[in-house]
């Protein structure tokens, strides 16, 4: 039997090794995804709420927000899904094009966050009026992936530059803590906002974001000529990455109050937009499925 101590050292070493090998390009942290999905659930139509609840695993107890971090938790197990969390764009161009950018590092087409959003939306829409025995996909997984990736595509640095891996290789300090720029946008801005403005209470933060959403916001954010529109969301993200995320965040810089106060509104708006747009796509998916068609 190995001693507890050597087990512990072994685990720490292997975790360290893993984190060195694989930079953390994995989307809003747990809090961000929770905020997005809790906002989304409030805007679901009756049909969508029924459809979503049928697909949610039991442990979610009817809450979409319980499964929105799943895609990050299984990223080791489903190794193939790792490139689906982001899309890299050419350095300093500040634009995104599906044909040019949506592929993994080996060049496989469609293996990126916008490709994944189309993929899982299609799996859901193409399966809903099909008898159970003929469904080819795991629709629970499709829902869990879609809910996560709609969030990720709104994180500006998930549509960042290829050369710095969406800010992952840009080492900065967030106040006194050493971290990287990508992580600042996934997690640290939200974490600092919670502490500074929301008494460390996520529910209070969600309410504040919700109260800020106007009917005009909703109608312009929902606008989409098909079932789902990830390409304009990716274009918005890379624009925000250039205007706000990369600006004044050169390698080795220390980011503090100025950066935090000017970027927090961007983060809050992206969280709100993801929530509204996730609800909109789920409402479209589940409204095309009229229950009378099922016999
Ligand atoms: C589409 O979904 C299937 C099933 O999860 C997966 O194997 C495939 O890699 C996905 N492709 C993209 C582009 O998301
Ligand atoms: C669908 O995926 C979920 C989550 O990975 C899994 O728990 C469930 O067993 C899968 N269902 C089928 C029918 O394979
Ligand atoms: C929606 O608009 C985009 C860009 O304007 C276009 O490429 C796409 O074909 C349109 N989709 C539908 C379903 O009309
Ligand atoms: C509310 O909207 C204002 C104006 O756009 C913005 O500055 C602020 O950060 C928003 N607050 C929240 C909690 O979303």
Measured CA to CA, the distance from residue 177 to residue 172 in angstroms comes to 8
Contact status, residue 287 vs residue 231, Cβ threshold 8 Å: no
Return the percentage of the chain with pLDDT > 70, whole number: 88
Among 72, 253, 90, 83, residue whose Cα is nearest residue 164:
90
With a 6 Å cutoff on the Cβ, whether 89 touches ligand 1 is no
Q: 275 C-alpha to center of ligand 1: Å?
A: 23
Ligand (nearest to CA of 235)? 3
Q: From 58, 134, 141, 146, give the residue whose CB has the most ligand 2 atoms within 8 Å, as the site to mutate.
A: 141
Measured CA to CA, the distance from residue 72 to residue 66 in angstroms comes to 13
Triad 5, 11, 14: Cα angle to 5°: 140
Work out the number of other CB atoms within 10 angstroms of the CB of residue 110.
15
The average pLDDT across 5-25 equals 44
Q: What is the CATH number of the domain that holds 155?
A: 1.10.575.10
Given this model, what pLDDT does residue 24 score?
A: 45
Q: Which two tokens stand for residue 85?
A: 């969390």
Among 229, 266, 64, 245, residue whose Cα is nearest residue 150:
229
Residues for the chain: how many in total? 295
With a 6 Å cutoff on the Cβ, whether 226 touches ligand 3 is yes
Given this model, what pLDDT does residue 16 score?
A: 43
Q: What is the pTM for the complete model shown?
A: 0.89
Buried b / exposed e across 54-83, counting CB within 10 Å, b at 16+?
Answer: ebbeeebeebbbbbbbbbbeebeeeeebbb
Q: 138 C-alpha to center of ligand 2: Å?
A: 6
Given this model, what pLDDT does residue 132 score?
A: 85
Label residue 76 by pLDDT band (50, 70, 90).
confident
Q: 99 C-alpha to center of ligand 1: Å?
A: 17
Quick check: 9 pLDDT over 80? no
In a domain, 236, yes or no: yes
In a domain, 51, yes or no: yes
Quick check: 141 pLDDT over 50? yes
Contact status, residue 141 vs residue 160, Cβ threshold 8 Å: no
Measured CA to CA, the distance from residue 23 to residue 181 in angstroms comes to 12
* Order of all β-strands in the sheet with 171-174: 177-180, 171-174, 254-255
In a domain, 86, yes or no: yes
Q: 141 C-alpha to center of ligand 2: Å?
A: 7
Given this model, what pLDDT does residue 74 score?
A: 93
Given this model, what pLDDT does residue 133 score?
A: 86
In a domain, 9, yes or no: no
With a 6 Å cutoff on the Cβ, whether 88 touches ligand 4 is no
Q: Which amino acid residue places its CA nearest to atom 10 of ligand 3? A: 225
Give the SS3 label for residue 93. Answer: coil
In a domain, 253, yes or no: yes
Q: Which amino acid residue places its CA nearest to atom 9 of ligand 4? A: 265
The average pLDDT across 246-275 equals 98
* Domain span at 256: 21-289
Q: Which two tokens stand for residue 233?
A: 């969301």
In a domain, 7, yes or no: no
In a domain, 254, yes or no: yes
With a 6 Å cutoff on the Cβ, whether 261 touches ligand 4 is no
- The number of folded domains in the chain is 1
Given this model, what pLDDT does residue 145 score?
A: 98
Q: Which two tokens stand for residue 105?
A: 């590092």
Listed in sequence order, the DSSP H helices in the chain are 4-21, 30-42, 46-55, 70-73, 98-101, 113-127, 139-152, 181-183, 189-197, 202-211, 215-222, 230-240, 257-287
Give the SS3 label for residue 190. Answer: helix
């Amino acid at each position: 039997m190995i001693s507890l101590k050597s087990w512990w050292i072994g685990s720490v070493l292997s975790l360290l090794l893993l984190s060195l090998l694989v930079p953390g390009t994995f989307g809003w942290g747990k809090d961000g995804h929770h905020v997005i999905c809790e906002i989304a659930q409030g805007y679901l139509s009756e049909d969508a709420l029924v459809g979503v609840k049928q697909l949610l695993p039991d442990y979610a107890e009817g809450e979409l927000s319980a499964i929105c971090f799943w895609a990050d938790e299984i990223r080791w197990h489903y190794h193939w899904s790792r490139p689906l969390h982001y899309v890299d764009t050419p350095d300093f161009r500040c634009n995104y094009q599906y044909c040019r950018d949506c592929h993994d590092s080996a060049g496989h087409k469609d293996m990126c966050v916008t490709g994944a959003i189309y993929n899982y939306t299609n799996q859901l829409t193409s399966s809903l009026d099909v008898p159970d025995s003929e469904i080819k996909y795991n629709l629970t997984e499709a829902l869990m992936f879609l809910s996560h990736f709609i969030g990720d595509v709104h994180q500006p640095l998930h549509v960042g530059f290829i050369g710095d891996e969406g800010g992952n290789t840009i080492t900065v300090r967030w106040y006194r803590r050493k971290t990287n720029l990508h992580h600042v946008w996934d997690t640290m801005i939200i974490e600092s906002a919670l502490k500074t403005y929301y008494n460390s209470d996520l529910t209070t933060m969600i309410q504040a974001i919700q109260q800020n959403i106007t009917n005009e916001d909703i109608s312009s954010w929902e606008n989409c000529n098909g079932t789902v529109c990830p390409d304009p969301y990716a274009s918005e993200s890379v624009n925000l990455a250039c205007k706000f995320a990369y600006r004044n965040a050169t390698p080795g810089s220390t980011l503090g109050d100025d950066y935090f106060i000017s970027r927090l509104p961007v983060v809050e708006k992206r969280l709100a937009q993801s929530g509204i747009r996730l609800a909109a796509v789920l409402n479209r998916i589940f409204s095309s499925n009229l229950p009378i068609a099922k016999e």
